[in-house]
Amino acid sequence: MMRFSIQTIPFALVFLASGLTSVHAGEHVYSANNAKWKTECGACHLAYPPQLLPAASWRVMMTQLDKHFGADASLDAKTAAEISAFLEANAGRNKREATGKPSQRITGTRWFKQEHDEVPTRIWSSPAVKQPGNCAACHTQAERGDYSERSLRVPR
């Protein structure tokens, strides 16, 4: 049996390598889902992926929904608790998503600005985009949590 093990090694390496490739390709596809989050937090804008803010930001946001960026996004206590748990369980853990103090603006985080520094200022305020939080204007599959380069089309 021992002599087979040496033949297994190249296969193991190929398997490992392809595994890593697919992890990298899926890096900007956010698949976490919750029906209440999708409906309630997708009612006025698209449901922003929980991974794009740290848990502390979501926690603060979910306690101030009556004063949500000038809008009233209040929910009943049970729904709010379910959505909070979902957001915090899937919140961003990388340093790049955290900003020090718990910002509620994804578009205000340092990683967002760095990731988007190639987008000219006039594009952000153009009629096709209107505001940076309108992710789907450029990330055509954002509704499905897909922010990969593949589906990116920046309007001119």
Among 55, 91, 98, 135, binds ligand HEC (CB under 6 A): 135
Q: In the complex with ligand HEC, which residue's Cβ is closer, 2 or 23?
A: 23
Size of the site for ligand HEC (CB under 6 A): 37
Nearer CB in complex with ligand HEC: 19/105: 105
Contact by Cβ (8 Å): 129, 121: no
CA distance 28 to 9: 31
Report, in Å, the least distance between residue 10 CB and ligand HEC: 31
Nearest distance from C-beta of residue 16 to ligand HEC, angstroms: 23
Task: List own/partner pairs for 138-147 with CB under 8 A and 24 or more apart.
Answer: 142/46, 143/46, 145/29, 145/30, 145/31, 145/32, 145/33, 145/49, 146/28, 146/29, 146/30, 147/28, 147/29, 147/30, 147/49
Of 10 and 120, nearer to ligand HEC (C-beta) is 120
Nearer to ligand HEC, 91 or 147 (CB): 147
Which of 69, 95, 96, 114 touches ligand HEC by CB under 6 A?
A: 69
Tokens standing for 60?
Answer: 């603060």
